[in-house]
Each structure stands twice: as structure tokens, then as C-alpha cells.
A and B are shown apart, each in its own frame.
Chain A
């Protein structure tokens, strides 16, 4: 739906475009910083007369003041209500007349706005985005209606389905102190209390050139984009320096916890088991890469361990997945999930998945399997370059969370350098049985698994 998908950044790194093989050069990228602190990245791609323009603010739901969960996302909605120069609907109207499309999303770490348009409209789009970086109007009379829209969004996206409710509760249980435990859209009782002043205060603190990144990908010349950026974003005054971005951190996690949701809409039981693990930003050298490879080995494709063991050999899984989210600003998560076929039980399934993890911890993995995953990741980075919007999104998220272009371009090489020992080590270090949070989604009258 238009405007605001809540960010769920699973497997960003798997989608990151970069150098696949020596003979395939990485995308050509230009990077500038304007005098007011705005970072600008341009990735030309002249195959089609289209450009994707994205603005990233280094702020998200995990930066919200206590008691105001959802204010980052609420502000994202309000950002479309216009400025004095470009009143409500002006941006929609311009993009619409061009045949373009636009949207925005909020995650725990970033808030992003993006438009895909013909290249000759880029200057006007930049002018509008630059204007609403400091001059949003927020007429008081629209606040209540927009808050109602957010409440309907919350009902539609989370409260209407058992998976959404369980995911929210799992995160709240997983993170004992870090704000990643609060939903990006906010808790209903706190959304209801959000005011115009709350949104404005958040906006004034965080929306400024020196807290923003613009990534442009498509049929453009870097120098022309730079000139347009200087005319538009360059005229926006630098905001106050932002303090170092330090969130409340997790204490050591040393208990296993269980969250159970029973719902009459559920016919097949399922489970999700998650651990707090390092991200690319917080991990020691090579740890995040090893976790990505581990997730790939477990569940990427039909040759993967979980598919071969649980679907082909034992035939007990309707679904079995592993995923690693290493793109977060703070810690990442590693997640296993699955559902049994109707003729098997959830207990059997969980036992079999746990046995595979135990086997990796005890016996390790083969070089051949690691190489196969690395090859596939490298190939995917080339396929990802097929869509400039994907390119802008992947680089934008990575750079907004503190990564570098060099880091992204060398990612396939670093994946290739992951050893079987490194995979075994991260599995042993992080996927313990005594500190996981497990969620059960159950039909009525079924007892939770042990």
C-alpha cells in the first residue's frame, strides 16, 4: 500500500549488489558530501529512461522517546501532508503526472522516502524533498485523520493476522532492553496518544541534511545530479550536530523464553526460534559473513540442509527456514522457523531441525557446500543489479546504517573467504539451546511443544 511499509530487513546482505566475479565490474558509483553535511551517492544505469531517487534519514523507531512508540512512522505519514511551497498532494500530483511511483517506509534504524520517475523530473523531485526536509507544515486539522489511518494500518497489518501478532510479541520478548523490542508501527495505546508536537519534535531533532543520505540510481550523470543537489539540498541549512547514536543495549541473554499464541484460524502449528547475534556493524571481522553463509547452507534452495533433510529425506516439513538479519545498526538476529506437514508433529519437526544445528556445531560443514553458497550469493549480486531501484535500496540501507561502498562491493569476496571452521564457530557460539526465544503458533487445544 502506498506510503509506509514497515521495514522488515531480513537478509539485506543477500540482496546486496556487488562484485560477483573478476570479469564483472561492480556498478560505477560516485559519492559526494555537500557543505551542509548531506551525503550523496549516484549510480548511473542508462538502460532505461528511469531514475530512482531515495532519501534516507538515519533515524527510526529505535530512536523514539520512551512512551512515544510509533512516532517515527507517524511522522513518515505526516511528511506527505505538504509544506507551504508544496502543499498537500503536490508531490503525489507531480509523480503521478509523470507516470512515476513513490513511497516511504520506516524501520527501527532508518526512515526512507523514494520516487521512481523519468530523469528530467529529478530536479523538481529533489526540490520538493529538500523543502520538506526542514519545512513540513502539519496543519493541526489533519493530525487526527492521519492517526486514524495509522490505527487502521495497524489493525490491517498486525492485528488481523495471527502471524503478525506473534511476530510482535516475539520481538518484545526477544529484546529485553533494546528498543528493537517495540513495534515500528507503535503500540496501539501509545499511537493513540501521539500528538502533532511529538511528531514535530522528532522531526526537528532528526530531519536535517547532516543526518541524511540521498541515493540516486538510473539514467543520470553524476555531475548533473551533484549540480541539482547543490541547488536544492545545498540550500537547506545544516541542522544541529546530532549526538552519538547510542541506544539502550541488551544485557547478556541467559534464559530461554517461550511465546505461545493459540488461534482458531490456525490449522497447522508452526514455530519460530530466534537468537540475538552480531550484525555486520557490531560483529567481529568475518562473523556476520559466516552467519550469512550458515543461513544459506541451512535453507537457501533445494540443495540446502533443511530442505534435503526435512522435506526430501524425512518428509515431515511443510516449511523449514533459516534467516540471518545482519543489516541492523545494532545487533542482528538469527531465526529458524518451520511448520510440519499435516501427518507429522511440531515436536518431531523441532527435534529434527535442532539435530541439524547440533550436527553443524559438532561436525562442521564441508568446504564444497560453503563454496556453493558463496557462488550463489555472488551470482545473486549480479542479478540484483538488473533493477536500479533494488540497487538504490540496497546501497541506501547499507550506507545509512554506517556501512561503506567499499564494504558492500567487497562483500562477495569476504563471503568467499568464509571457512567451514568459521561457520561451525558462529553456530557453536550463538545458537545455544539455553538463550533462544521460541514462538509457537498453535491451533486451539494443542499444548505447546516442550
Chain B
């Protein structure tokens, strides 16, 4: 985590965590202002101009163009496409395109999550013109040549096979199915060994044509580039896209709580996951829930659960809590792992801590610390590098948040009272959570035992 290994392209595809984090809810401070611009061709973007280091970073996303758009018989389509946009475009086949990328010094990356299709590009400023042209080719004219499609598909399939006997993978699939039911969120973003082989070049091309459009496009540009140059870049890269996407509407998910799931496997620890109802960001109750989750299990050893589980009792290396904030689903999750003979005790400590918060409310001093943390952490986490700034600007637009959201956000966090947090705890923890255990004899007591299935449901 400190000095990370050089990223290896084409590594085995990792399964996404079962539920996305809310880590990136969004940014801006006095000294780094997000500036809305409109390109000569009429495309909106946000930018931060900074000439300190000769780097240009461009982040973008096509909203709604993620894996939820995959048909049931083509699961993995969006993800597969994300591996193919640098595998040849325009007149350049895969080899020629990648040689050009290397010569120009353009780094590009695409990814699909459940909700959106995202891209990022990075170049030295001296490479701006050539880099822009290459990126435009990748975005507008991907080739989807058969050898490249077959190669990328084989890589993803190998990743699925590699995980197929991993009880953790089986548990994550089961967890998502249990929580989301038949909503598209229950399906694996990478697809399955049944659906990947049937995805055709025509399927990919049709998907590209349907979802890459100007209306659902969000852009953030950072670095050594003027607004005028940024506008020109945007028009070259995105100006040729159709105006409106064709997206299948996705309903909100109805999450299932009160379920007990177990995967029994002889591991040295038992992993514990809990899911409670969550709150949508646009809901007026969002900030009390957000503050409460951080208070309980934020990334800090002072959180209530870390104090009780880790610091006082040494039961675990740590307890984490997240607000799941997908476009169509919301939950609060709590997770930890402990040696299996301590699993019952750990669950008991967690439940007792949650109940105590509902009964007594938060310590006012702790509440204030959390509020200050959440306000201060925003710029520190969002503005530390061009990449994080670009990601923040795109994320904020995906959520339809205003460009000066940070000001409003600080006020909304400050306004949360101890009574608000207590009321939220009473509301959320009145629901019996869904609970999943993975570990040795995880079928103990009243939990229904399940053995891990192979990777392909």
C-alpha cells in the first residue's frame, strides 16, 4: 500500500468488492477551485488549471453505461468492452495502437462498474496534441478486432476460473444475490464462463454506439492546460459522439434484510459481514447517517467499533463500515474478521455497541471530532493529486452535485446533532441486518449452512 508495485496490465481480473464504497463523495476547497467550462462545440466540463508540473490528467465517465446495462445472457459485456478500447482503433490495429501510445507517452485506462463506464488519460503536456488524437480514436473508433476480443475474453475467463474454488468469491456472489435479489446489482460485473463466450463483436459495437453519448458524459480536466486548450481537447475527443444515449432504465433495488448466510470452510479466521438499510445521498437524512457510520466504523482506530473490538479486546485487526451508495441501492455495511472461536463474541460486541448508540446517542465530543474529520478530510483526500482531483470532479457531476458543493456539504455536516445521530441509529438498527459468516463451522447455531459453489451461478 505504500510503494505499490508497478501496475501490471492485463493482470487477472479482480472481483469488485461486493458493495461499493462511498469513499469518494466529493471535493473543492478555497485554493483548488473547480471551474465549469464549455467547449466551443458546447460540451460541459469542470477543470482545474495548474502548470506546476507538466502533466495533463483527464477523467471522464458515461453515466449509466455500466454493467447494469448488460443483458442477462451477455453478463460481462461492459467490462469486456473496457478492456478493448486500447486494443486498436481507427486504422491502427492492436499492435500499432499500443506502439503509438508508447511513443506518444499517453496512458489510458477504462473501467466499468455497476453503474457507469469510466475512463482516464494522463500525458505530459508536451504530448497534448498527439495524445488527444489517440484518445479520440480510442473513444470514437474502437475496432473490436476478433483476435483482441478473444484475447481479452480469455484473460477475464482465466480470472474467473482462478477464483472459482475460492470460498471468498463464492461468498461474495452469494451475498450480492441475497441482498439484491433479481436486481441487476446481484450479477457479477465480470460476467460468467457461460455468458462471456457468447458476446460478439456486434454486441460490443452496439453497446458502444448506444451508451457513448454527449448527454451522459461527465468530464474533469486537471493540469498544465488552459481553458481554451481544454475546450479544444474535449471537442476533438468527444465532439463526434451522438447527443443522447440509449440506456435501459434501471429500477431501484429492494434490498433484503434479516437474512442469515454462511459459507463453511476451514479457514484460520471467520469473516463477518453485516448489511443494514442505507440512505440515499439526495435524502435529507443522508448526513446523519453518514456521520453515524463514520462514528461507528470509519477508517480510524477511534471509531466506536474499533475501540470495542480491536483496542479493548484484541479481537480483530480492524472493523470497517461503509455506506453503499449505488445509483439504485443504499446500505450500511459493517465487516470484520476474527479467529473463529471468537466470532460469536465479536458479533455480540458489535451488536451491543450498535444498541448502545441507539439507546444513549453519541458522546458530543466524539461527534464533534467526527464532524471536523469529515469536513477536513474532504480536501485532503480529494485534492492530493491530479488523478484524485479529476476523479472527484467526475464523481461530483455523476451525483448531480453543484460545483461549490464543498461549502454546502460542510454546513450540512455541522448541522447534524447528537439527537439526529441517535434517531438515525434507532431507525437503522431497528432492522435486523443481513448477516454473512465465512469460516470454519460457519454453519453453527441457527445459520443455514452452505458450501461454496463453483464460480458460475
Contact = CB atoms under 8 A, between A and B. Distances in A.
Interface in A115-137: 116-118
A397 interface: yes
Interface stretch (A143-151, A168-176, A203-211, A275-283): A143-151
Contacts of A394: 3
A146 B161 contact: no
Given A92-B300, A160-B269, A268-B158, A148 B315 contact: yes
Most chain A C-beta atoms within 10 Å of own C-beta, residue among B3, B161, B339: B3
A97 B317 contact: no
Contact of B339 (A2, A144, A155, A387): A155
A318 B163 CA distance: 13
Contact of A152 (B32, B315, B380, B381): B315
A50 B384 contact: yes
B311 interface: yes
B454 to A, nearest CB: 9
Given A99-B377, A319-B11, A385 B53 contact: yes
Nearest to B385: A387
Interface string A59-91: 000000000000000000000100000000100
Interface stretch (B138-146, B194-202, B282-290, B368-376): B368-376
A341 B158 contact: yes
Contacts of B383: 48, 50
Interface stretch (A238-246, A251-259, A295-303): A295-303
A326 to B, nearest CB: 12
A80 B124 contact: no
Would you call the interface of chain A mostly helix, strand, loop, or mixed? mixed
Interface string A290-322: 000000000111110001000110010011010
Interface in B95-124: 98-99, 102, 105, 107, 122, 124
A284 interface: no
A100 B376 contact: yes
Interface residues of B, number: 81
Interface string B127-167: 00000000000000000000000010011011101111111
A160 B2 contact: no
B372 A388 contact: no
Contacts of B337: 152, 155-156, 160
Contacts of A112: 2
A71 B313 CA distance: 21
B162 A50 contact: no
A47 B269 contact: no
A237 B52 CA distance: 39
Most chain A C-beta atoms within 10 Å of own C-beta, residue among B1, B10, B378, B379: B10
A10 B5 contact: yes
Contacts of A321: 8
A8 B157 CA distance: 29
Given A156-B317, A265-B167, A341-B154, A100 B377 contact: yes
B310 interface: yes
Given A385-B53, A394-B3, A96 B373 contact: yes
A446 to B, nearest CB: 13
Interface in A364-420: 372, 375-376, 379, 382-383, 385-390, 393-394, 397
A99 B314 contact: no
A38 B4 CA distance: 27
Contact of A105 (B2, B376, B379): B2
Most chain A C-beta atoms within 10 Å of own C-beta, residue among B9, B162, B320: B162
Contact of B12 (A153, A299, A339, A393): A339
Nearest to A376: B102
A99 B380 contact: yes
Contacts of B163: 267
A264 to B, nearest CB: 6
Interface in A35-56: 45-50
Interface string B1-36: 111111011111000000000000000010110000
B338 A375 contact: no
A301 B162 CA distance: 22
A379 B314 contact: no
A98 interface: yes
Contacts of A34: none
Interface in A150-170: 151-153, 155-157, 159-160
Nearest to A12: B3
B260 interface: no
Contact of B379 (A49, A80, A160, A264): A49
A394 B9 CA distance: 22
Contacts of B356: none
Given A160-B269, A311-B151, A301 B4 contact: no
A101 interface: yes
B155 A48 contact: no
A98 B375 CA distance: 9
A48 B379 contact: yes
A393 B314 contact: no
Nearest to B164: A267
B55 interface: yes
Nearest to B161: A342
Contacts of A307: 9-10
Contacts of B377: 99-101
Contacts of B312: 145
Contacts of B373: 96-99
B419 interface: no
Given A339-B162, A341-B158, A15 B301 contact: no
A145 B31 contact: no
A239 to B, nearest CB: 26
A372 B338 CA distance: 48
Given A303-B102, A382-B53, A393 B3 contact: yes
Given A48-B383, A155-B268, A383-B122, A99 B376 contact: yes
B55 A383 contact: yes
A318 B155 contact: yes
A386 B320 CA distance: 29
A300 B11 CA distance: 12
B314 A149 contact: yes
Interface of A: 1-3, 5, 7-12, 14-15, 20, 24, 45-50, 80, 89, 92-93, 96-101, 105, 112, 116-118, 144-149, 151-153, 155-157, 159-160, 264-268, 299-303, 307, 311-312, 315, 318-319, 321, 323, 339, 341-342, 372, 375-376, 379, 382-383, 385-390, 393-394, 397, 443
15 contacts: A50-B380, A92-B300, A100-B377, A149-B314, A149-B316, A152-B315, A267-B162, A302-B98, A319-B8, A323-B5, A339-B158, A376-B105, A379-B105, A386-B387, A394-B3
Shortest Cβ-Cβ A-B pairs, 7 listed: A99-B376, A148-B314, A318-B158, A145-B314, A99-B377, A387-B385, A268-B162
Given A2-B318, A160-B337, A307-B10, 12 more contacts: A2-B306, A7-B2, A99-B375, A101-B380, A145-B314, A267-B164, A319-B8, A319-B12, A385-B53, A386-B55, A390-B385, A397-B3
